[in-house]
Structure 1
Amino acid sequence: MTEGLTIGQAAAYVGVTIKTVRHYHRLGLVAEPERDSSGYRRYGSGELFRLVQVRTLAAAGVPLAEVGDLLDAGPEEFAATLDAVHQQLTERIEELTARRDRLHRLDHGDRALLPDRACAVLARLAELGFGDDYVSCQREALVLTRALVPEIFGTFLARLEDSLADPEAVELTKHGWEARSWDPDDPRIEELASRTADKLLTHHALLTMPTEFGDQADAASRYGLVNHHGEDQAPSIARLNTLIEAHLRAAGIAVPP
């Protein structure tokens, strides 16, 4: 009676493929059994036990490059290595969870690019009667702020939240958006800029730039890309923003030039 199992039988019993068993052999994780008189390699209980060990550790996430040393290690080293693998797997799970959440956000519009707090601001704009074009513009501004000037993103959100809770500020903002259709030299722009700046200055703290941001060499260019986004399509808005910034600087606010 022939003793031992063929490679196909051994692979099936252990729960892997023949290709996997041969791969374990190439890596030196499992010794190849000697051939019998008929020329076949026969797997005994020792080889099967080793195959089960390797398969179990690999399935648990232990890199194959570490499996051999791990199986030959003493109890303390074995435990320490398993702890390290556990930490690696935990980090990998956290990374995959974050990627899954980002994919989930892709199915929910704004949440693909913005945190929930910013999405709530955009939803509030729609509730207050701002049109889709304005909401879209603010969405772009929020995304750009988060990407280019993350140092002031929280303050920017707080300023938006504060203004949306103030009916007068809401009306000023709507008038500002209507100014897109005005001539850049329309005298109403100067009046609107003055009123808007005065309203912004009622919450002086929300206009203060963090020192670590203002001291950076590229602060002005990054800030400008955000604060003047879209002005090329509305010259009157460009003038309005320039006048508002001038009023703020005159009041002592360090708006990047």
Structure 2
Amino acid sequence: MANGLTIGQAAAFVGVTIKTVRHYHRLGLVAEPERDGSGYRRYGSADLLRLVQARTLARAGVPLAEVGDLLDAEPERFAAALDDVYRRLTERIEDLTARRDTLHRLGNGDRVLLPDRACAVLDRLTGLGFGPDYVATQREALVLTRALLPEIFDGFLTRLQRSLDDPEFVELTKRGSEAASWDPDDPRIEELASALAARLLTDRALLEMPTGSHGRSDTASRYGLVNHHREDRAPAIARLNALVEANLRAAGVDIPRQ
């Protein structure tokens, strides 16, 4: 019986494929054994040890480009290199964990884009009887606000939270959502706009734009994209929002103009 193992036997003993063994040879991680008298390469115990070491490092996450240097390194350098690999693996694990958590939260739609506080407000809207379309619009507005006007996001959330503590404002807001089906010239829109503006003015401080936000040249455009989101689908809502803004400006509230 010939001494040593064939490449197929060596691969099977080590737990890799023949293709992997040949790949290790091409990369110079494991030297190819000499051929015997029959023309076959025979793998001895030293070859198998090197294959096992290379396989173990590769499966541990060490890039193949670094495996060869590690196998030939002095003990101190080997330990330092393993520490570096450990650090990089830890960072990858943290990144993958964050991605997994993101995918889990994606099951709740746009909530992956919002903090828990905002999600609680959306849950409360549903609990107060607001319809799914209105809640969806508010979710989208919150996502847009956080992305386009992060400086007003917390204030916007606080205003929403306090508004939901006001039964009269809740009823007015529900009427506002119903107004989507009204004719844009319906006289009730003016009455509703005046009532909504009056309730908003009871907590005037929350209507003020943060200091410094007006210094940005595109603030008005950003604000318009948020505050007039979905208006193209409901002309009556567009008129209602315009009248509310006009009433607030008349009361001295500085609202960006597009």
Contact conserved, 2:110 with 2:143, CA < 8 A, in 1? no
Structure 1 segment 167-246 matched on structure 2, within 5 A = 167-246=167-246
Secondary structure at the counterpart of residue 202 of structure 1? helix
Equivalent residues, number: 257
**2:144 maps to what in 1?**
144
The alpha-carbon distance between structure 1 residues 14 and 169, as it changes in their structure 2 partners (threshold 3 A), is same
Partner-residue secondary structure (3-state), 2:36? coil
Specify the alignment match of 1:28 in structure 2. Answer: 28
- Shifted more, 7-16 versus 133-142: the winner is 133-142
User: 1:130 aligns to what SS in structure 2?
Assistant: coil
Tell whether the 8 Å contact from 1:183 to 1:236 is kept in structure 2 after alignment.
yes
Identity level (%): 76
Unaligned runs of 5+ in 2: none
Structure 1 residues 61 and 189, CA, compared in 2 at 3 Å: closer, same or farther?
A: same
> Residue in 1 aligned with 2:83?
83
For 2:156 and 2:142, the matched residues in 1 are separated by 8
Letter in 2 for 1:173: T
Amino acid at match of 2:65: A
CA apart distance, 1:19: 0.5
Distance of 1:94 and 1:212 partners within structure 2: 36
The CA deviation at 1:113 is: 4.5
CA contact (8 A) 1:193 1:240 kept: yes
The offset of 1:219, in angstroms, is: 2.0
Q: Distance in 1 between matches of 2:151 and 2:73?
A: 49
| SS state at 1:203 partner | helix
Does 2:6 align with 1:6?
yes
Residues 211/79 of structure 1: CA separation in 2 closer, same or farther (3 Å cut): farther
Q: Measured at CA, do residues 203 and 70 of structure 1 come closer, stay the same or move farther in structure 2, by a change above 3 Å?
A: farther
Q: Partner residue of 1:164?
A: 164
Taking the aligned partners of 2:27 and 2:248, their CA distance within structure 1 comes to 69
Q: Distance in 2 between matches of 1:18 and 1:133?
A: 59
Q: Any stretches of 5+ residues in structure 1 without a counterpart?
A: none
Question: Equivalents in 1 of 2:84, 2:77: separation in Å?
Answer: 11
SS at match of 2:19: helix
Q: C-alpha separation between the residues in 1 aligned to 2:75 and 2:248?
A: 69
* AA in 1 matched with 2:178: E
Residue 106 of structure 2 corresponds to 106
Q: Cα gap change, 1:218/1:72 in structure 2, threshold over 3 Å: closer, same or farther?
A: farther
- The TM-score, its normalising length taken from structure 1, stands at 0.88
Q: CA deviation at 1:176?
A: 1.9
Does residue 123 (structure 1) correspond to residue 123 (structure 2)? The answer is yes
CA separation in 1, counterparts of 2:212 and 2:234? 32
TM-score of the pair, normalised by structure 2: 0.88
Please tell me the root mean square deviation across aligned C-alpha atoms, in Å: 2.3
Does the Cα contact within 8 Å between 1:219 and 1:256 map onto a contact in 2? yes
User: Amino acid of the residue matched to residue 3 of structure 2?
Assistant: E
2:170 is aligned with what amino acid?
A: V
Aligned-pair CA distance for 1:105: 2.6
Runs of 4+ in 1 over 4 A off after TM superposition: none
Contact 1:110 1:119 in 2 (8 A): no
Q: Distance in 1 between matches of 2:58 and 2:212?
A: 48
